[in-house]
Chains A and B, each alone.
Chain A
Amino acid sequence: MSEVQVVRGEMQPWTDHTTPRPALAALLTDVVPANRRTLILGPHAPQLIESVLAHSADVAILVRSVADAQQLGEDFGPCLQVIAGALDGLQTEPYDVIIASDGLDRVLGYDSSDLSWSARLAAVSALAAPDAVVVLGLENEFSLLNLLDSRPADERHGDDEWRPLHDDPTRPVSVDQLKSALPWASEVYADFGSRTFVRADVAATAGPGELPTRLAGAALESVDAPLLSPAAEGVDTAARAGLLPAIPTAWLAIVGAQPPHDLYTQTADTVLTATQTLTGWDTTITGDPNSTSVLAFDPSVVPSTIASGVSVESVLFRLASAEDVPAFRKLAADLGEWVTTSRVIVRWDDVIYDGDSFAYGVSGWVAEDSIEKEDLLAAAWARFHDRLIGQHRRHPWPPWMLGDDLVSAWLGMSGVEAPEPTQATSPDTLPATTEQVARGKELAAALDAVLETSTTTVDVRTALTEAEEAKQELFELKGHVYGLERTLGFRNKAMKTRENRIRELRGQLQRLTTAHERIRGSRTYAVSRVIFHAAQVRKPKVVARKLARKIDRRIRKR
């Protein structure tokens, strides 16, 4: 354990929570110069500290919590100089490198002066050598998640600010303001949920459904914050407006160094970096993925070159919204032809469509063994179903069709033959489609779990929508009951018509039977029968002779 140096402004007892940020660690690895006098300012996760230590032996870290400082001393030993105290208490020679990727909000103690953000920045500037490399984070007050946060202002940032930090008028709230506020020229990255970092000028040109937008949306989905409405729609709208760099959760300004990649994102335990080209993206993956679930991340299946274009999911969403089932059907059929038996899990939100052909995106999730094409398609459609319905998007399919039947219908559009309907044997008998899509749903659920995009917090709009949907369902079910009653009324009317007709026929039959009986009992009928039988005789002479012999025998007997 190394000795912890204490300067003015230390806090005890206190601790600042940190989380590993693999994508940020990869970015730091790319920008931190080797063997320079380096200061890590503020709380940083051990993983980040390691990425700095990998480059430089002369590294100090300043944290305000004494307990955190002691822990760091224990963890890193003599290779890291640990200082406990506040930024305004640190008096030292300038540093060649300053890493303040946590920002400047957790660098003062309760005994510190009330320094504004710009005053804190000035203090950092004073610690930096003239040609220093500086990495500085800044939480974005104009972030989409902040704008959509359902908590009121007095609860937004928790109860751990003894002085409010976020209403500071000197605090930048845009990329331009941040660049202007810094005393150095800088490159700014938009930080989405600490999972995805996109170069700001690249983000500004990303459209909805394109790679940076897709990754930004997925990163924000993984943030477990109480929201007024889902962030996905806002991300797409911001992208359409060219404002994607305006709405991340934070920014990262990089001074004195040029990161080689436009995009850094965390995927499983690995980091994917991507650099924009004229036709798409060149990608690399670093890190060693750990397989702990049904699915594993296999970097080797991620293409090294990814085409530009939008996700097929965004096109399917638009077609469903337009209720353009023929075009939806055509696209589904094309997808059905494109997908083949493979280990790679197919997801429409990561299949790129250029209007003509399809290509895999950056998702490298695979199953242990090869999966049948039908099950891969079922998994893709099951995931699409959950996202279409879960995001309450417009579509033309009735409520009773949602679930397995709808997934099965889409599978049918993709060329997978529907199961033969089977006769139910009880009210709880599951339809044939349940078995057809079961494996696909398992795969979709496994993918959902490893992507960590399902948060437990339900946003207000979704809660209101679900309540409204429940009311609407009740309203429609009442209508359905009325409709059934109407049908019964029509059927009843038809039955009465038939009953009357049967009564009429019965009456006619009765009258005809009576008339028939009367006719059969009459002399006229008896005579007519004799005449009828006589008319049936074919050889009257033979009959006459037989009759004459019979009469003759009777007379002789007498």
Chain B
Amino acid sequence: MHHHNHYYGQTHILSRYAGFDFDHPPRLRGYLQHGWNIGCGWNPVHEFYDGAWRFTWSDAPKRRGHSLGRRNYHSIGAPFLYLMELEPEKEEPVEREGTLWFLFHGWEGGKIHGDHQRLIDEIRETEPGPVTFSLYYTEYDRPEVRGFYEDAGFRVVSFGRRGFSYEGTDRRFLFKQLAELRKHKRVAANRLSTAIFYGIAAGCEPAVYGDPMEMDGENPLFGGQSRIERLWPEMLGKTVDLEAARATTDLELGKPWMMPPAELRSLFDWRERV
């Protein structure tokens, strides 16, 4: 329905999981959460049409949204988890090595600002193995940002664009991210973010440290580092209790809320039509 549903190819993944075409998914009757956040699953000023259904990854965003006067929620689990089912790890997985490091990324409407050199120094001090640095294209396409990390000797990757208005979406964005995560032993970021949860789900040991940086026009309702520290202290630090982190990840990505294909088809109104 909304073009955000196609971000990162999430609807495409669910479409394939439900038995439909990957490249041309059916229209999804409602809004699909496209990233983890500490709010209701969407940015605080997101537009919703009247009576819209909202498909969250997990239960907590649903509760927060309810408090905002919004109704019609159903939690389904993150599409990334469905992708992991669709693309199971090989029976003989590659030996994991190094850290996949995610820089808190900006978006099309806001660039990030921070001390990149200081962050690089801290990463060098902390990470035991080789570092692959993942930049969103908004940073990857800025030579002054990308250069910092390339010059530091890190391998720099980008998984593509999430697209806009159904254009420019890299439908295999999450495929590439999953494949890269499965090569690494650790996943790290300078803010607790979607990528950390994805990394833990994909079998990485997590770490969250370093300058969290600032973003242009960042809405305090959306960010709130202190709130993150209060709610998810077990997820922060250079070494993290893996068992606790996995339990939190299952909840935040909504693993218990995953459903079989037939149920998903009914839920999304993806039924047989002429």
* Chain B residues within an 8 Å CB radius of A329: 259
- The segment from B32-40, B70-78, B98-106, B195-203 that touches chain A is B70-78
* Chain A residues within an 8 Å CB radius of B137: none
The docked-state distance in angstroms from the alpha carbon of A493 to that of B168 is 13
A525 contacts B by Cβ under 8 Å? no
User: Could you tell me if B62 and A323 are in contact, using CB atoms closer than 8 angstroms?
Assistant: yes
A296 contacts B by Cβ under 8 Å? no
* Chain B residues within an 8 Å CB radius of A213: none
A89 contacts B by Cβ under 8 Å? no
CB distance from B51 to the nearest CB of A (A): 3
User: Could you tell me if A478 and B50 are in contact, using CB atoms closer than 8 angstroms?
Assistant: yes
Q: A397-B74, A398-B267 are in contact. Are A482 and B50 (CB under 8 A)?
A: yes
User: Could you tell me if A421 and B19 are in contact, using CB atoms closer than 8 angstroms?
Assistant: yes
B53 contacts A by Cβ under 8 Å? yes
Number of interface residues of A (CB under 8 A): 46
> Taking chain B's interface residues, is the majority helix, strand, or loop, or is none over half, making it mixed?
loop
CB distance from B145 to the nearest CB of A (A): 27
Chain B: residues with CB nearer than 8 A to chain A?
1-3, 19, 27, 29-30, 49-53, 59, 62, 72-75, 165-167, 256-257, 259-263, 265-267, 269, 271-274
User: Could you tell me if B166 and A494 are in contact, using CB atoms closer than 8 angstroms?
Assistant: yes
CB distance from B3 to the nearest CB of A (A): 5
Question: Which of B1, B3, B51 meets A476, CB within 8 Å?
Answer: B51
| Additional A-B contacts beyond A412-B262, A477-B51 (20; CB < 8 A) | A324-B59, A326-B257, A398-B30, A400-B269, A405-B266, A409-B266, A418-B261, A421-B262, A422-B272, A423-B272, A425-B274, A431-B271, A475-B50, A482-B50, A486-B1, A487-B1, A487-B3, A487-B27, A490-B166, A494-B165
User: Could you tell me if B50 and A479 are in contact, using CB atoms closer than 8 angstroms?
Assistant: yes
The docked-state distance in angstroms from the alpha carbon of A406 to that of B53 is 16
A408 contacts B by Cβ under 8 Å? yes
Q: A479-B49, A486-B2, A487-B1 are in contact. Are A409 and B272 (CB under 8 A)?
A: no
Q: Which of B75, B259, B263: most chain A Cβ within 10 A?
A: B263
* Chain B residues within an 8 Å CB radius of A487: 1-3, 27
CB distance from A335 to the nearest CB of B (A): 16
Q: A326-B257, A493-B165 are in contact. Are A472 and B51 (CB under 8 A)?
A: yes
* Chain A residues within an 8 Å CB radius of B269: 398, 400-401
User: Could you tell me if B49 and A483 are in contact, using CB atoms closer than 8 angstroms?
Assistant: yes
* Chain B residues within an 8 Å CB radius of A524: none
* Chain A residues within an 8 Å CB radius of B73: 323, 396
Q: A409-B262, A479-B50 are in contact. Are A398 and B72 (CB under 8 A)?
A: yes
8 contacts between A and B (CB under 8 A): A397-B74, A400-B269, A405-B266, A409-B263, A476-B50, A482-B50, A487-B1, A494-B167
A530 contacts B by Cβ under 8 Å? no
Q: A398-B72, A429-B274, A472-B51 are in contact. Are A483 and B266 (CB under 8 A)?
A: no
